[in-house]
Amino acid sequence: MAKNRTCFVCDNKVGGSHEYKCATTYKFKITRYIIKLARILNTANDRLSGDQLHDLYITKQYSLPDLKKEYGIDYKSIIFLLDHFCIPTRNIRDSKLTERAQHKYVSTCLERYGVSNASSLPLVKEKKRSTFMRKYGVDNVRKSEWFKAHHSTVMHERYGQGSLSNRYCGLQDWWANVDTMYKKERIGKLHAGYHKWFDALTPEELIEYGRVRTHELVKYSISSLEYMIADTLDALCIPYTHQFWISNRSYDFKIKDTKVIIEVNGDYWHCNPNRYKADDIVKYPDREMLVKDRWLEDTKKIALAKSKWYNVVTIWEYDIRNSDDIITLVLEKIGECIK
């Protein structure tokens, strides 16, 4: 309970159990239950109502920590209010199964570890494997005869069938209908988690990550980074040509009626100098090459454009991913180029 609130009896700033004593002093003929209810509602600054609490807890699936953050009251007070307004409470198991909790779990894992499930981390996998071997004699508890029998029994008792459909519990439909601002907030946190994980990669892990990502992305002729820059230029109403050619070299963007070219460089494909050393070896789908040779290719490409009197703006993936405002980033890069 807050230590600095206004007593509903004497209108003074108070803390602790003051209201009970104050009600007795002023001979208020009300029960302790009503006093407790008034204290809690007063602490929440009258922002709380039964309908609003029902909407947050039932419809929007807020957890107790979410409600504590929303109203600034403790868990016992929240449970008291749920009971007072006849709102059915969830147990721990039911809370974990809500769409909001599952989405929050995925977001937290990505933010902290760079993966959607903490169980996919090598350290966690090994710890689970050793525990299963010690307790059940198998490296995965699902392989044990005990689990197979227990799982079948529980599923039939609870659902009347051996398995359930809808693997993702409606998360895709939920995400398609959530508020745009909420999406932006969650995506921002996901990006932050990705960068935290990416920055911690060793050179060897970075190379391996690049190899895997290459196989995932090689089928696309236009990178997601280019789409982001294209969207930004569109938002700024800056006309451009996408994939502008000089001789036999293609450049990502040329701003129309200017001599400005924009190159969008992926950290892996173009070996960001902040992540690679000149003598590192980078593996591409069709070849391996020294990083300094990759840099030399890009230098020659820029030199070709400059020989035709073009100014070249280079925007790195790392800068895009870590920018809170891509529009400002693009404008600043163009501004630096034409000074």
DSSP per-residue string spanning 105-170: HHHHHHHHHSSS-GGGSHHHHHHHHHHHHHHHSSSSGGGSHHHHHHHHHHHHHHHSSS--S-TTTT
Cα distance between residue 302 and residue 312, in whole Å: 7
On whether the CB atoms of residues 239 and 256 are closer than 8 A, the answer is yes
Tell me the per-residue pLDDT of 1-45, one tens digit each, with 9 for 90 and over: 445 667 766 767 766 677 777 767 766 666 777 777 777 777 776
Q: What is the pLDDT of residue 172?
A: 67
How many of the other CB atoms lie within 10 Å of CB of 35?
A: 19
pLDDT tens digit sequence for 47-75: 677 788 888 888 888 888 888 888 888 88
CA torsion 266→271→274→278, rounded to 10°? -170
Quote the CA–CA distance of 281 and 291 in Å, as a whole number.
6
Give the model's confidence band at 299: pLDDT under 50 very low, under 70 low, under 90 confident, else very high. very high
- The domain limits of the chain are 5-100, 121-169, 218-336
- The answer to whether the CB of 260 falls within 8 A of the CB of 270 is no
CB atoms within 10 A of CB 16: 9
Instruction: Calculate Rg over the CA atoms of the chain.
Output: 29
Between 332 and 160, where is the model more confident? Answer: 332
Which of the four pLDDT bands, split at 50, 70 and 90, describes residue 302? very high
Question: What DSSP string runs through 17-65?
Answer: THHHHHHHHTT----HHHHHHHHHHHHTTT---HHHHHIIIIIS---HH
Q: Whole-angstrom Cα distance, residue 195 to residue 317?
A: 11
CATH assignment, 218-336:
3.40.960.10
103, pLDDT greater than 70: yes
Global confidence as pTM: 0.37
Per-residue DSSP letter, 15: -
Asked which of 21-35, 80-94, 308-322 is least confident by mean pLDDT, the reply is 21-35
